[in-house]
A and B are shown apart, each in its own frame.
Chain A
Amino acid sequence: MDTILSVEGLEVEFATYGGTVKAVRGVSFDVTRGETLAIVGESGCGKSVTVQSLMGLIPMPPGEITGGTATLNGKNILNLPPAEANKFRGVEVGMIFQDPMSSLNPTMTIGDQIAETLKVHRGKSDQEAFKLAVELLERTHIPEASKRAKQYPFEFSGGMLQRAMIAQSLACNPAILIADEPTTALDVTIQAQILELMLELQRTENMSIILITHDLAVVARMADRVAVMYAGQVIESGTVDDIFYRSSHPYTLGLKEAMPSNTDDRDKSLSPILGSPPDLFKPPVGCGYCARCPYAMAVCAEHLPPTTTISESHEARCWLHHPTAPDIEELHQLDDQNAG
């Protein structure tokens, strides 16, 4: 397969007033052309920090990338000086953020902001760039694009702004679009439209998407593959089916149980995951989920579980996959697989 982005053992720390926060602790994943990789996990587990460190958007200081590699089309992209980083930012990788209202410069017209990318990276003239910006707005289905392009962000609705953001990030036909919770700040109907737009553009541009979300329903709808993060680590990754139907990590199971679903029988009550994620000032030596895991074993507290390959596409980090570990009902399928 055609791997575009490959992240290996990424580690990010923040030096704060209270100590060092180990926000990302050895994250690895690959992105192949045309696919959507969803990154899910609780708030604060390091999703945003992961993608922002790839883009060089971590404020340094206090942030620091302390380890790992990230290769985009064969080139290293970590810890580049701004001049180097700007060769791929906005060109090969586009990015959109959670809150479109605050993500656009309030004193610059939408059209100018989109055109700016084209002028900087493609050397277009003012008029040319603006014309292309209008085309981009049209491609993201903004009505009356040429009029809209002359307007300021405050004249747009949230959904329109997110479309404009997408248009802006698409300006240079990037290979990857990173979307950090692109729909969280929008209301439900608008959410669906934005996701639809992203899918459509992905098909037409053959673009990869890294989609960060809390919402498993969005994952189910959008993603090809999923990486589940917990306390700064990827604890399970696999195809959507692997994650939803062959969940191999107690945390993923917990996430699923905490999610309302319309296929399960309605009587089944939702069970939130009790407790809170570990303090990343002092990350646990063993499994990060240990304190909340219903299956926790003596080994979990002291030793980091190794990554177990469950199938070609499916990996998980849990001691339960060790040959000597007891069988767990809920994780049965995987044991069947292992046996078979």
Chain B
Amino acid sequence: MLAYTLKRLFAGVVTVWFIATATFIAMHQVPGDPLMNDKAVSAEIRANLEAKYGLDKPVTEQYFIFLGNMLRGDFGISFTQQNRRVNDIIRDHFPISATLGLLAIFFAATGGVLWGALTAIYRNRLPDIVIMFLVILGISVPSFVFAALGQLFLVNLNSLFGQSIIPVAGWGTFWHMLMPSMVLGLGTMALLTRLMRSSMLEVVNEDYIKTARAKGLSPTRIFFKHQLRNAILPVITVLGPQIAAITTGGFVVELVFAIPGLGRYFVQAVQQLDYTVIMGTTVFYGAFLVMMVIIVDILYGFIDPRVRLS
């Protein structure tokens, strides 16, 4: 397990390096000099930047300066917001995105497992048919539509009661987080429900379930002790990649619900071609996602003895 963890971590570091390199190459393809494009940059800042990134030096040298900065965890200074460090931007806004994302994952995972188990129990009966129909919808409707619908729902809810029951946009309290995170988790929930259902149906037909019945265990015990645990395993394996989907899905939700998260910042930076913020955020997000996948895989190892002990 330790060797496995180390191996995964090493592979993760290499992946992050690859992400950083790809980011660097991509940003150097941007037509024109990003510094010249932006009139907002004062001469002073420009001089600073040129010194910091070695923009007057050859590309390979710039690349190593860039890597060095990344290694030190220094993402530089924003182009458009003078004197604001990218690190500060990330520190200020990422926790909001992370909270939103975690809540969404929580909704998605609990919902997915619950609905998936339910559909499997009621296979081909009404609850199954209804839920699976909703699942297909959940997979086929873009997240921004859910976001818009969610907001519309809140508007109507509030107008129905003639007062603000649940805030329609913004950030702060748990009530601000509720609708956005549910909306954000919806697509993943649909996916996980589907996975959980097929996983459950597969497990029901496993020989060890028959053994458990032959042992004289009650259906409830079989369900919780034998079926559920084994059926959840494949669901956990896709959780890592799904965190990536939820993170990027967060961009849209943050835009629609006016949540001051890093995603919204990133989109804004992209629109304003804020070179350093884009690079910094991309590498940061990339590293974060790679880490999430590794963490989920290692956690999985603790749950599945076959991985843990090999």
Contact = CB atoms under 8 A, between A and B. Distances in A.
- A–B touching in complex (CB under 8 Å): yes
Interface stretch (B105-113, B165-173, B221-229): B221-229
Contact of A57 (B210, B230, B304): B210
A267 B213 CA distance: 48
B67 interface: no
B207 A90 contact: no
Contacts of B233: 107
A57 B211 CA distance: 9
Contact of B226 (A89, A91, A108): A108
B206 to A, nearest CB: 7
A117 B229 contact: no
B219 A82 contact: yes
Given A152-B306, A154-B305, A155-B309, A106 B216 contact: no
Given A102-B208, A104-B208, A152-B306, A55 B214 contact: yes
Interface in B179-201: none
Give the size category of A's interface with B.
20 to 34
B216 A85 contact: yes
Given A152-B305, A154-B305, A154-B306, A102 B217 contact: no
Nearest to A95: B214
A242 interface: no
A243 B183 CA distance: 70
Contacts of A52: 210
B221 A97 contact: no
A261 to B, nearest CB: 33
Contacts of A155: 309
B133 to A, nearest CB: 23
A116 B215 contact: yes
Contacts of A116: 215, 217, 225
B218 interface: yes
A86 interface: yes
A56 B306 contact: no
B233 to A, nearest CB: 7
Contacts of A270: none
Contact of A89 (B216, B229, B304): B216
B213 A120 contact: no
B287 to A, nearest CB: 32
A89 B212 CA distance: 10
Contacts of A121: 216
Contact of B208 (A88, A106, A120): A106
A157 interface: no
Nearest to B212: A105
Contacts of B206: 102
A152 B309 contact: yes
Contacts of B216: 85-91, 117, 120-121
Contacts of A104: 208, 211
A169 B215 CA distance: 7
B230 A89 contact: no
A82 B218 CA distance: 7
Given A89-B214, A89-B216, A103 B226 contact: no
Nearest to B227: A105
B273 to A, nearest CB: 51
15 contacts: A55-B213, A57-B210, A82-B213, A82-B218, A89-B214, A91-B216, A95-B214, A103-B208, A104-B211, A105-B226, A106-B306, A108-B225, A120-B218, A154-B305, A154-B306
Interface of A: 52, 55-57, 82-83, 85-91, 94-95, 97, 99, 102-108, 116-117, 120-121, 152, 154-155, 165, 168-169
